[in-house]
Structure 1
Amino acid sequence: MPVQIKRVYEEAKKAEGMRVLVDRVWPHGMSKEDAQVDEWLKEIGPSKELRQWFDHDPDKFDQFKDQYKEELENNEEQQDELEKLKDWTIEHKKNLTLVFGAKDEKNNQAVVLKEILDRQQV
């Protein structure tokens, strides 16, 4: 099924299917009710150290992406949550939307996760 990404601050739509928050930290100023997420996989988010180093700097995104993929390969908790996402893309007969809090819609961990999930579906 198709994988989409969307900011948590945007209005949820039924067509988005299963909404999964992929941030390690709950989005600032967002209530659980307003977020309308089905799951929160906080362990899949980048480590605190990587997040702080990246600091949403688009110039660092390629290096962030490589380091984040390395984390996903080497961290058991992150691997487990990535496997959940992979399973959900196969099991569910509806769309999967990765929800994130970052302002930058092109340079964040949801983009990296979508790329990984899209590759598995080919």
Structure 2
Amino acid sequence: MAFDIAVKRVYEAPAKADGQRVLVDRIWPRGVSKKDAALTLWLKDIAPSDELRKWFGHEPDRWAEFQKRYHAELDRNEKAVAELHDLLREGKVTLLYGAHDEAHNNAVALMGYLRRA
């Protein structure tokens, strides 16, 4: 089954086309109100561990290793992954993140993981 997944910065305006909006960061993004975020769910437990997040530090040269380590964490995080799969079975899900780097962030890595599964 191919899931309909998108990735978007939480700072961008919500759109009907987003489907269910899921924040996948462990830390709430600065300057965004809960109302403006228009979340379906804040799934903190699916975010990378603090240790991995700090190690990565959004360094593009660590991207491949970050994905490998994060995917290993996701393999051990069955409950949060199952919760996201349940939402995906209902329709489109947009994974929201707060990082500045649109190509190298946990939401992009998570989307790759979910599409691979």
TM-score, normalised with respect to structure 2: 0.92
Which of 38, 44, 47 pairs up with 1:45?
Answer: 47
- CA shift, 1:119, in A, is 2.8
Letter aligned with residue 86 of structure 1: H
Map 1:1-122 → 2, pairs under 5 A: 1-74=3-76, 78-90=77-89, 92=90, 94-120=91-117
Q: Please list every run of 5 or more consecutive structure 2 residues that lacks an aligned counterpart in the other structure.
A: none
Letter aligned with residue 119 of structure 1: R
Q: Please list every run of 5 or more consecutive structure 1 residues that lacks an aligned counterpart in the other structure.
A: none
- CA shift, 1:30, in A, is 1.1
- CA shift, 1:109, in A, is 1.0
Q: CA RMSD in A?
A: 1.1
Rounded Cα–Cα distance in structure 2 between residues aligned with 1:110 and 1:16: 14
Rounded Cα–Cα distance in structure 1 between residues aligned with 2:51 and 2:110: 19
Percent of matched pairs sharing the same residue: 46
- Please state whether the residue corresponding to 1:107 is helix, strand or coil: coil
Letter aligned with residue 50 of structure 1: L
Rounded Cα–Cα distance in structure 1 between residues aligned with 2:33 and 2:46: 20
- CA shift, 1:25, in A, is 0.6
Letter aligned with residue 116 of structure 2: R
TM-score, normalised with respect to structure 1: 0.89
- CA shift, 1:22, in A, is 0.3
Rounded Cα–Cα distance in structure 2 between residues aligned with 1:55 and 1:107: 10
Letter aligned with residue 111 of structure 1: V
Task: Answer yes or no: is the 8 Å Cα contact 2:71–2:113 preserved in 1.
Answer: no
Rounded Cα–Cα distance in structure 1 between residues aligned with 2:113 and 2:53: 19
Q: Alignment length, in residue pairs?
A: 115
- CA shift, 1:66, in A, is 0.6
Rounded Cα–Cα distance in structure 2 between residues aligned with 1:6 and 1:29: 16
